[in-house]
Amino acid sequence: MHISLTCLGTGDGVPIAGRNHSAYLYTFGDTTLLVDCGEPISSSYKASGLDYNLIDAIFISHLHSDHFSGFFMLIQSFWLEHRQKPLTVYLPTDAIAPIRQMLNTAFLFAEMLPFSMTFVPLKPLGSIAVGPVKVTPCPTSHLERTRKSLQAKYPGEYIAYSFLFEAVHLRLVHSADIGAPEDLDLLLSQQTDFLLCEMAHATPETILGYLAGKPISRILLTHVARHEWERLPELQQTAYRILAGKNYSFARDGDKITISAS
């Protein structure tokens, strides 16, 4: 089975020219999953030339706008590009009712869409099968500080997920947004063929130092904070020093990476 990752958006949550917000397309043979749909996903997807029936499921890691803001325009583009294939959207439970309401508010009524769309709530460690891929969402501490300061006033689940993808004996980990590198302890407790790791929510030294000791065959560093991205050569030197001997690279928009067994 051919497994690949196309990076449609590798930026962090801060606006920057030349990097889109979070969107990553994983292909496992004939099965394709989109993880997050930060804007401008409708534009980057069109530019990719990929078929509008390609995506089987969308996984939304959490509801920060840089991971989710392109969703409505993506659905509108699926409508106007005549997508036919049913679509399943896996996302935090709290988001489902307001998204349904917002779709109707934006005149994206179910009756208008030439494809069926199903929303499925993610459950912590509740594995999901999509074709040959087993997807396990693992909660992170990314929203804990926000929860502590604002949950009393704005009730909700305040959840963010990393994802484990397992297919044909390969383990792929997608960090999405973390609160601290230790959020990945469970996922990286065994040999991992590929890790996509965000870099914006701890210092580069903290994240790279953590990854240096983990059994990972291939590391893709992404979501680099804008102020770090603007001095990328220094960050690359830091990574070279800390990850010596590891197989790693920094993601850029448009990158397509083939993922193979260790």
| Residue range at the interface with Zn ion (CB under 5 A); choices 146-154, 173-181, 185-193, 242-250 | 173-181
| Residue range at the interface with Zn ion (CB under 5 A); choices 46-54, 79-87, 123-131, 174-182 | 174-182
Question: Least distance from C-beta 204 to Zn ion, angstroms?
Answer: 18
Using CB under 5 A, pick the residue from 12, 39, 166, 177 that binds Zn ion.
Answer: 177
**How many Cβ atoms sit within 10 Å of the Cβ of residue 38?**
26
Task: Extract the tokens encoding 253.
Answer: 């928009």
**How many Cβ atoms sit within 10 Å of the Cβ of residue 116?**
11
From residue 72 to residue 111, the character string flagging contacts with Zn ion as x (rule: CB under 5 A) and all else as - is ----------------------------------------
* Contact between residue 40 and residue 72 where contact means Cβ atoms under 8 Å apart: no
From residue 23 to residue 62, the character string flagging contacts with Zn ion as x (rule: CB under 5 A) and all else as - is ----------------------------------------
Regarding 201 and contact with Zn ion (CB under 5 A), the answer is no
User: Residue 39 or residue 177: which is nearer to Zn ion going by CB?
Assistant: 177
Helix extents (H) in 154-258: 204-212, 226-229, 232-242
Question: Least distance from C-beta 182 to Zn ion, angstroms?
Answer: 17
Question: Least distance from C-beta 177 to Zn ion, angstroms?
Answer: 4
Residue 62 CA to residue 67 CA, distance in Å, equals 7
Helix extents (H) in the chain: 41-48, 65-68, 71-80, 96-105, 144-150, 204-212, 226-229, 232-242
For residue 26, which of 47, 61, 62, 2 has the smallest C-alpha distance? Answer: 2
Question: Least distance from C-beta 160 to Zn ion, angstroms?
Answer: 6
Q: What is the DSSP track for 122-151?
A: --TT--EEETTEEEEEEE-STTHHHHHHHT
At which residue do the structure tokens 């067994």 appear?
Answer: 261
* Contact between residue 161 and residue 61 where contact means Cβ atoms under 8 Å apart: yes
| Residue range at the interface with Zn ion (CB under 5 A); choices 17-25, 116-124, 171-179, 252-260 | 171-179
**How many residues of this chain interact with Zn ion, rule: CB under 5 A?**
2
Question: Least distance from C-beta 245 to Zn ion, angstroms?
Answer: 31
Binders of Zn ion in range 119-158 (CB under 5 A) = none
Residue 154 CA to residue 148 CA, distance in Å, equals 11
User: Residue 170 or residue 200: which is nearer to Zn ion going by CB?
Assistant: 200
Using CB under 5 A, pick the residue from 64, 83, 171, 214 that binds Zn ion.
Answer: 64
Alpha-carbon dihedral 145, 12, 124, 87, rounded to 10 degrees:
140
Question: Least distance from C-beta 34 to Zn ion, angstroms?
Answer: 17
Question: Least distance from C-beta 31 to Zn ion, angstroms?
Answer: 26
Residues that bind Zn ion (CB under 5 A): 64, 177
